[in-house]
Amino acid sequence: MASGKFITFEGIDGAGKSTHISFVAELLRERGLSVVTTREPGGTELGESLRNLLLHQKMHLETEALLMFASRREHLAQVIEPALARGDWVISDRFTDASFAYQGGGRKLSLDKLNALEAWVHPHLQPDLTLLFDVPLEVARARLDAERTPDKFEQEKADFFASTRNEYLRRAAEFPARFRVVDSTRPIPEIREELRGIIAAL
């Protein structure tokens, strides 16, 4: 049996990643693959409790980073690793790149500390494919304003998201084999066509 692959969706808030997750999951299911969709922070009962704290409570930057990785540890143990071991495909709405982008880029936690946490929590696992939905801040902000009540992260200022986006793009350049940067300013059907091509090539 072919082994499953691990796909992560990333981007600043409002970039449009959630819009495309069910589409990509469906593309894979059409090929007869078994697909698990999940998200971070969250994905487990404990992770969803941590998500609630992380999205709504102020806390020290390092506490925030540690809780993101605590949620991830549980998620890997309970959901991601068992699914991949069964041969399922896993699609996660965010993973460790988000910690580098938000806690590292946005909040300026040292990348050394983030590298140490990553080496602790998943020394041997990386996504097979990371789709980075990229838009300028103004576009993301306009999409969010039209839509929802902002959580703790979504209330951050423009320079926070500029740094977050830059860190995502820096990582995409550092790991070109696993990243695909998707220009998410385009209309949804055009983005879907590109995603269809990327998935077909996997």
Ligand X SMILES: Nc1ncnc2c1ncn2[C@@H]1O[C@H](COP(=O)(O)OP(=O)(O)O)[C@@H](O)[C@H]1O
Ligand Y SMILES: Cc1cn([C@H]2C[C@H](O)[C@@H](COP(=O)(O)OP(=O)(O)O)O2)c(=O)[nH]c1=O
Q: Quick check: 44 binds ligand Y (CB under 6 A)?
A: no
Smaller CB distance to ligand Y: residue 61 or 193?
Answer: 61
Question: 151-156, long-range: CB within 8 Å, 24+ apart, which pairs?
Answer: 151/55, 151/56, 152/54, 152/55, 152/56, 152/57, 152/58, 153/13, 153/55, 153/102, 154/13, 154/14, 156/106
**CB-based contacts of 157: which residues, under 8 Å, 6+ apart?**
none
Ligand-binding site membership of 16 (annotated): yes
Residue from 4, 14, 42, 106 in contact with ligand X (CB under 6 A)? 14
Q: Quick check: 105 binds ligand X (CB under 6 A)?
A: no
Q: Quick check: 47 binds ligand X (CB under 6 A)?
A: no
Residue from 11, 42, 43, 127 in contact with ligand X (CB under 6 A)? 11
Binding-site partner at residue 143 among ligand Y, ligand X, none, CB < 5 to 8 Å by type: ligand X
Smaller CB distance to ligand Y: residue 88 or 93?
Answer: 93
Tell me the residue ranges of DSSP E strands in 61-178. Answer: 89-93, 129-134
Residue from 13, 40, 64, 167 in contact with ligand X (CB under 6 A)? 13
Residue from 99, 130, 163, 184 in contact with ligand Y (CB under 6 A)? 99
Q: Phi and psi of 179, rounded to 5°?
A: -90, 140
Q: How far from 201 is each of 81, 101, 196, 198, CA to CA, in Å?
A: 24, 27, 9, 5
Interface positions, 134-163, toward ligand Y (CB under 6 A):
151, 153
Give me the residues that bind ligand X (CB under 6 A), please. Answer: 11, 13-19, 133, 143, 147, 184, 187-188, 191
